[in-house]
Amino acid sequence: MESVLSKYENQTTVLSEYLEEFPETDGSVWILGRQYHLKTDKSKLLLDISARLWFTYRKKFSPIGGTGPSSDTGWGCMLRCGQMMLAQALICRHLGRDWHWERHKKQPEEYHKILRCFIDRKDCCYSIHQMAQMGVGEGKSIGEWFGPNTVAQVLKKLALFDEWNSLAVYVSMDNTVVIEDIKKMCWSPPQSSSAARGSMLSHRSALSQNKNTAGFCSGWKPLLLIIPLRLGINHINPIYIDAFKECFKMPQSLGALGGKPNNAYYFIGFLGNELIYLDPHTTQIFVDLEENGLVDDQSFHCQQAPHRMKIMNLDPSVALGFFCKEEKDFDNWCSLVQKEILKQRGLRMFELVQNHPAHWPPFIPPAKPEVTTSGAELIESTDKLLELEEEFEILSV
């Protein structure tokens, strides 16, 4: 592991050496549901891209699990891409798709709360520590590379402990999105108090920063929809290209996770037959919270033109992301899928069905486990668990 880390530590570079400016053409660029004309909207385009939270390799954070790696260089790129997709969902949820970040400009408190979710500390709910430890339950050792589906499953589990953002995370199965299951999940009643008390025992630390002070509310839970796909065997099948590009045009788009074998990128749009992506393969120094609870965010935004790659060079294993804040957004997404994706008579990129397939196991909306050993705060021993249970009994008296 040390040799791998040292190899990648030396790849820390100045981004401007590798980034290529957008060409001077009459073409249009699509970025997460927004269209830009290169000749007239270039500054707006770059402003939009720089507003996306950019998570890269970091070094010199506290060792994961206490004795694990203190850098994710060489193995954490897909985790960072998952963070970027989730962060975009949170920005849409709290600030709106049209919110823009500007350097040295004061930002709303919600922005800082979102950023705090991803700081590389074990007590931040979507930190590299939490994602790596939750990946153990998905069969991935700490320091092992994740694929798109694995990171989707990790985000789904971690979101259960995030009361402030209160997302419903649906990860499709067998290339099929089931409308009935999503509506059942997003309209689920509030969690029972006994379950909430049980999960509090093992997740008090991270959630202390992420509680929804208004408590659980009834109604539609904002939806993070992730669709893992295999768009070919060894290479992407050209038949899927048009449908794949259409997804970036949808107003609900969160882009896609993918890349090349063992090299993950966060794809946010396209220009012609080139995909536009944010690259996590730059190692930066760990940035901690300041005394006032804010974060120096300059290194969390890519402030130059992003990378591009030919769509045919994409590895066929990808995961699409979409965010639907309200039920009408999901209904609109379903209509767009029916119109733009399912019109294909041959091979379809994925299926959208109304009812839960009869041959599938019953759908049960995910819920917080009462006791866990790999969530917001890893319980390292039975003694620690008993200690927390005794404390809870005292509080209950």
DSSP 116-155: HTTSSSTTSTTSHHHHHHHHHTTT--TTPPPPHHHHHHHH
In angstroms, rounded to a whole number, what is the distance separating the alpha carbons of residues 20 and 244? 23
Q: Is residue 208 classed exposed, middle or buried when 0-12, 13-18 and 19+ CB atoms within 10 A define those classes?
A: exposed
Active site residue 217: no
Active site residue 242: no
Q: Is residue 200 classed exposed, middle or buried when 0-12, 13-18 and 19+ CB atoms within 10 A define those classes?
A: middle
Helix axes 148-159, 77-94, angle to 10 degrees: 50
Question: Using an 8 Å Cβ cutoff, are 119 and 289 in contact?
Answer: yes
Question: Which candidate in 279, 302, 307, 324 is catalytic?
Answer: 279
In angstroms, rounded to a whole number, what is the distance separating the alpha carbons of residues 258 and 228? 10
Question: Which candidate in 181, 281, 315, 329 is catalytic?
Answer: 281
Instruction: With residue 83 as reference, give the H or E element that holds it.
Output: helix 77-94
Question: Which candidate in 48, 72, 77, 94 is catalytic?
Answer: 77
Residue 119 vs residues 62, 66, 288, 373, 387: alpha-carbon distances, Å: 11, 16, 7, 21, 28
In angstroms, rounded to a whole number, what is the distance separating the alpha carbons of residues 160 and 163? 8
Dihedral sign for Cα atoms in the order 186, 189, 190, 192: negative
Active site residue 281: yes
In angstroms, rounded to a whole number, what is the distance separating the alpha carbons of residues 285 and 59? 5
Residues 6+ apart with CB under 8 A from 63: 69, 70
DSSP 228-255: EEE-BSSSB-GGGHHHHHHHHHSTTEEE
Written as one letter, the residue type at 144 is: E
Tokens of 346: 């041959």
Pure H helices in 142-301: 148-159, 179-186, 193-207, 241-249
Q: How many C-beta atoms lie closer than 10 Å to residue 386's C-beta?
A: 10
The residues assigned a catalytic role are: 77, 279, 281
